[in-house]
Amino acid sequence: MTSTVETSTVATSPADTAARLHDPSVRGFASDNYSGVHPEVLAALAAANEGHQVSYGEDDYTARLQSLMEEHFGAGIECFPVFNGTGANVLSLQSLLPRWGAVVCASTAHINMDENGAPERIGGIKLLQVPTPDGKLTPELIDREAWGWGDEHRAQPLAVSITQTTELGTCYTPEEVRAIAEHVHAKGMKLHMDGARLANAAAYLNVPLRAFTRDAGVDILSFGGTKNGLLFGEVVVALNPEAAHGLIYLRKMNMQLASKMRFLSAQFIALLEGDLWLRSATHANAMAARLRAGVESVAGVELTQKTESNGVFATLPAGAADQLRASFRFYDWNEAIREVRWMCSFDTTEEDVDSFIAAIKRELGAR
């Protein structure tokens, strides 16, 4: 006797299929790149997806982005949307320098530690790195490498790159940026700012974006979006176009020219047209402050940096990090001293933070 089994033919939507690929309830503190795309940004992408627009930046969205950036930074700037932060940094630095130019940066700078040699290999730029206790350069620290002009045996230090906020979660004040800008300009050098978390800095400082960028003397800016709720994309903003050369050509040479640029620009319009950039960054900062407050009195947790953005840095007892990572993903920052980094994002909830704090207390309390 044979039998037949009827199989279900219930259709599944693409959304159902995607939902099965990961568990959306899993949360982590490894990176603000782990978060999804802000719903308002997704809506903007969907709206931009109707009909046809001219390619390679001659679209209405990119024109609108230029005017929006001018509202934030003032007239006379130039904007170049690109795919990612490494591309933005390399492109920015290339535009400031001749082939023999070098860049002074903190040893912890993203361009030095986390871009796989792209400034050197793709940009052909020598990096002159300076150790810092908190990720921040000062005029005095810059002078450790800002020397040797006219020496044909030394790459010429002609630019400085600072990160706002820094890779250690610390924030330059407008006065600190201005002091650096005045110092390097007096030496004939130019100033680049890696603004991957620029919005977090503005939220922490409670000042307009231009207060610690253009008004403080920054020549060119890598304006970050991905870490603040965008799907992809950054914008190179020439705040002082006279200091930057060939950006329109360098962007194409560096494989950073998007054919369908409207989708880059539409995301930044959603971010900047209202206060989404500030709302998201303020929330991420607040979650980091909540996390810090919850662990600073826990025995075994030693906070190593100020919390001035959306990251918390701390050391843990041996073995504790690996145990905690069974439930919450996060990265080691300096394995030699057991230092870890905990990052919050626009979609981190109070429940996420409180659950993580409770896990830390359980793990360290059991030791």
Whichever domain contains 63, its CATH number is 3.40.640.10
Long-range CB contacts (within 8 A, 24+) of 54-62? 55/259, 55/260, 55/261, 56/257, 56/258, 56/259, 56/261, 57/81, 57/257, 57/258, 57/261, 59/261, 59/262, 59/265, 60/262, 61/261, 61/262, 61/265, 61/266, 61/269, 62/261, 62/262, 62/264, 62/265
DSSP H or E run through 223: strand 220-224
Alpha-carbon distance of 242 to 246, in angstroms, equals 11
Residue 308 lies in a domain: yes
Domain end (from 220, 253, 272): 272
Mean pLDDT of 89-100: 98
Residue 13 lies in a domain: no
Domain end (from 255, 272, 289): 272
Mark whether 194 and 257 lie in a shared domain: yes
Q: What is the pLDDT of residue 4?
A: 40
Mark whether 33 and 45 lie in a shared domain: no
Residue 130 lies in a domain: yes
Q: What is the pLDDT of residue 367?
A: 65
Mark whether 63 and 83 lie in a shared domain: yes
Q: Are 160 and 105 in contact (CB under 8 A)?
A: yes
Mark whether 162 and 290 lie in a shared domain: no
Mark whether 78 and 187 lie in a shared domain: yes
Mark whether 43 and 32 lie in a shared domain: no
Mean pLDDT of 152-160: 98
Q: Give 7's pLDDT tier (boundaries 50, 70, 90).
A: very low
Residue 132 lies in a domain: yes
Q: What is the pTM of this model?
A: 0.93
Mean pLDDT of 295-316: 97
Residue 101 lies in a domain: yes
Domain end (from 241, 256, 272): 272
Give me the domain span that covers residue 350.
28-37+276-365
Residue 3 lies in a domain: no
Mark whether 212 and 339 lie in a shared domain: no
Number of domains in the chain: 2
Mark whether 257 and 282 lie in a shared domain: no
Judged against a pLDDT cut of 90, whether residue 175 lies above it is answered with yes
Residue 91 lies in a domain: yes
Query: At 286, which CATH number?
Result: 3.90.1150.10
Q: What is the pLDDT of residues 321-350, one digit of tens each?
A: 999 999 999 999 999 999 999 999 999 999
Alpha-carbon distance of 292 to 281, in angstroms, equals 17
Q: What is the pLDDT of residue 25?
A: 87
Mark whether 218 and 349 lie in a shared domain: no
Mark whether 216 and 330 lie in a shared domain: no
Judged against a pLDDT cut of 80, whether residue 5 lies above it is answered with no
Mark whether 166 and 237 lie in a shared domain: yes
Residue 6 lies in a domain: no
Mark whether 106 and 73 lie in a shared domain: yes
Q: What mean pLDDT value characterizes the chain? A: 94
